[in-house]
Amino acid sequence: FEGNLVRKHEWESTTKKASNRSWDKLYVVLRGSLLMFYKDQKSYKAAPDSYFKSENPVDLRGGSTKVADDYTKKKHVFRIKLANGAEYLFQARDDEEMNAWVQRVSVQ
Ligand code: I3P
């Protein structure tokens, strides 16, 4: 499962706010329990091991994913909390795409 999403890193861990808090347009790939981030689809196809800003894939096991009802600045936004306390917001193109991601990510 993969597609374009806009991402904001909110928490580095439960107690540490992320330092880079801006929204990044990314190409996101879900493989098994790993979520991988790329600059765009082209860079993913060209080099699947070269991630956006050399970020490691994140492991979704033990995490949780929900629609981010409390985040009102943008629409179609869901939140992923990782087992280590890190949190990301993701904006999809529409609610249908958002729900598809939430469902896919939740089964991990
Ligand atoms: C951030 C950027 C984000 C904003 C965030 C800013 O600044 O404007 O859009 O989050 O606010 O820190 P920069 O681009 O200079 O890193 P929102 O879109 O959610 O407001 P925050 O620090 O209050 O999360």
The verdict on the CB of residue 23 being under 6 Å from ligand 1 is yes
Q: Would the pLDDT of 14 be above 90? A: yes
The verdict on the CB of residue 22 being under 6 Å from ligand 1 is yes
User: Mean of the per-residue pLDDT values for the chain?
Assistant: 97
Q: 107 falls in which pLDDT band (50, 70, 90)?
A: confident
Give, for 64, the enclosing helix (H) or strand (E): strand 64-67
pTM for this predicted structure: 0.96
pLDDT digits (tens, 9 = 90+) for 50-93: 999 999 999 999 999 999 999 999 999 999 999 999 999 999 99
Question: What is the value of ipTM here, to two decimals?
Answer: 0.94
The verdict on the CB of residue 72 being under 6 Å from ligand 1 is no
Q: Exposed, middle or buried: residue 2 (CB in 10 Å: 0-12, 13-18, 19+)?
A: middle
User: Residue 60 pairs with which residues in a beta bridge?
Assistant: none
Is the distance from CB of 92 to CB of 82 less than 8 angstroms? no
Q: Which of 65, 74, 70 is nearest to 22 (CA)?
A: 74
Q: Whose CA is nearest to atom 5 of ligand 1?
A: 21
